Every structure is written in structure tokens, then in C-alpha cells.
Amino acid sequence: MDLFNKDRVVTVCAPMVRYSKLSFRSLVRRYGCDICFTPMIIAADFMRSVKARDSELTTNSSDRPLVVQFAAKDAQTLADAACVVAPFSDGVDLNCGCPQRWAMAEGYGACLTNKPQLVKDMVRGVRNQIQSPDYAVSIKIRIHKDIRKTVDLCQKAEAAGVSWITVHGRTVDERHQPVHYDAIKTIKESLSIPVVANGDIKSPGDVESVCRLTGVDGVMSARGLLANPALFAGYEFTPLRCVWDWVDIAVDQGTAFTCFHQHLIYMLERITSQPERKIFNGLSSLSAVTEYLHDTYGLPQPEPPLFQPCDLI
């Protein structure tokens, strides 16, 4: 499957710890999201334990195209993990962008951007073990202060057979500073494979402006989609229909209450007053949340689920 065989910019839901799981992926797919990533999975733990595999990756037949993101630091472990998930997904992504200290201390995430030969070997390792040209192998990176180092990394990955590269336009040390879209543009112009831009894409206008500034083939959003899962459908704020859909999906798939409630807190933040948010954020049960939504917004009470449609790997 060519995930970028489109005549428009491809839209992507980012890998988010705790949040980009099956139920949320199901929601954003209804609202214009082309590709969804799983949360980051540590490949070594995934391969070590069947229990870890069952808990880390849940999907179903509608959850496509799906990219499984792994944190790994050696080629064989990544390749082995890719082989396990290949029948249930459309690609794997190597996390080369996580800036958290624990990840970098363990040899994962953004520290890999300083090891271009290792990244090349890891991409090639997956390519050698999964030889289907339709199965994607991608990397997600942050940039260096010296953009030439980032371009070198990306070109080595391209030579190894990487399908596309997602670029978060900040360095490891940057958190809330402006995104360096000029750096993303330079990377795009240096490669022949698709490039996806990531960082501060929070509105339909951001999608348009980032594409205009960088010339990328796709855009990836994280916090923007948490606040507005209908972002890629062109909505400025979460429409009430989307809230209703989330309740239906979460109840049907048996989503844990904490996750269900937190997603709604994000979705409603920009369309509710501070007193309303205080009340809503303090609710502690599914019935209390659905009753509040019904009374406040006229959303119907969901039917209890008859079954769990999720397939555990």
C-alpha cells in the first residue's frame, strides 16, 4: 500500500503515549485522518513478553492504514518486532525524536539522530526481513542545530530504503519555541521520498500554511488532534457531533474511564467556560459524564456495549 499515493497532503495522527490508542484512532479516522500511529512501543519489551504484546497493541479490521512506532536501539530487535506486527499493520516507524531523558539515557529516541549509521542499519534490517515493497518503514526525527547533520541522517536513511520521514521541527532541547519550518523545507528539498511535517499544527490554517512554507507531502498533529479530533476535516473547534461520536466509540470499545474522560476534557476545553470545565473535570463516572453531556449539550445517552470488537495481538 502506497500511503502517499494521493493528490493532496496526507494527514497523520501522531504517536502519543496513553492517547493514540485504538478508540481515539477510530475517532480521528472519521474526521479526515489518513494514517494513524500507535503510541511508542519499546521493541525489546514487546518481544520479551506475550503479555506486553497483548497490552501494547490492540487493533481491528477498520484500523488501517496503521503504523506501529517502536523505540529500539539495535537492528535485529527492531526487525523482529516489525515481523510480529506486519500482518496487522501497514508499516513500522523508528522513534528518533523522543527528547525525554529516560529514553535518551536508554539509547532510544532523539539520541539516535547522532547515530546515522545505526539508523541506516536499523532501517535496512527491517527492509531485509520484510521484503514487501508495500510495507512502510519510516523514521520520526527531531532536527539538529546544524541542519547539515539532519540532512545527512535523512539521506542515509533514504539510501537504506526508508519510505518516508517525519520531521518535528525542533531540536532536542526545544519544547515550546517556534518550529523551524525552514529546516523542514531544507530537508524536503534534499530528499526524493515523502516528508511529513510535525510541530504546532493546531488548526486547519496551520495545515495550509505549513504545507505552503515547506512543500511537504504530509502533516502530523498531536496536541492539535487531542484538542480537536475533527481538525483534519476542517473544523476550527471540536464539533458536538465529534463529542457524540467519541462517547459512542469509547463505550462500544470499553475504553477505560480515565482515558475516556481525559479525551473529553481536551475536546471541550475551547468550547466551555472555566466554571463548566471545573464541574466537568471533577466528574468521576461514565454515567455522570454522559448525563452532564446530555443535560448541557443535548447529546443522547449511549447504549451499553453488546460486545468488544477489538482484536488483541
The pair phi, psi for residue 233, each rounded to 5°, is: -90, 0
* Residue partners of 40: CB distance under 8 A and separation at least 6: 15, 17, 69, 70, 71, 95, 98
Question: What is the tens place of the pLDDT at every residue in 44-88?
Answer: 999 998 888 888 899 999 999 999 999 999 999 999 999 999 999
Tell me which residue has cell 532536527.
143
Give the chain's residues under pLDDT 70.
1, 301-313
pLDDT computed for residue 307 by the predictor? 39
Query: Is the separation of the CB atoms in 134 and 1 below 8 Å?
Result: yes
Per-residue cell: 147: 541542519
Domain boundaries of the chain, sorted by first residue: 10-233, 240-312
pLDDT computed for residue 1 by the predictor? 62
Q: Helices in 190-297 by DSSP H: which ranges?
A: 204-214, 223-227, 240-252, 257-268, 274-281, 286-297
Residues labelled catalytic: 98
Asked if the bond preceding 65 is cis, omega within 30° of 0, the reply is yes
Is residue 273 packed enough to be buried (19+ CB in 10 Å), middle (13-18) or exposed (0-12)? exposed
pLDDT computed for residue 49 by the predictor? 84
CATH superfamily placement of domain 10-233 = Aldolase class I (3.20.20.70)
pLDDT computed for residue 7 by the predictor? 81
Task: Please state whether the predicted TM-score (pTM) of the whole model is above 0.85.
Answer: yes
* Residue partners of 241: CB distance under 8 A and separation at least 6: none
pLDDT computed for residue 279 by the predictor? 94
CA–CA separation, 122 vs 265, rounded Å?
A: 39
pLDDT computed for residue 310 by the predictor? 39
Question: What is the tens place of the pLDDT at every residue in 257-304?
Answer: 999 999 999 999 988 889 999 999 999 999 999 999 999 888 776 555
Longest dimension (CA), the chain: 58
Per-residue cell: 291: 448525563
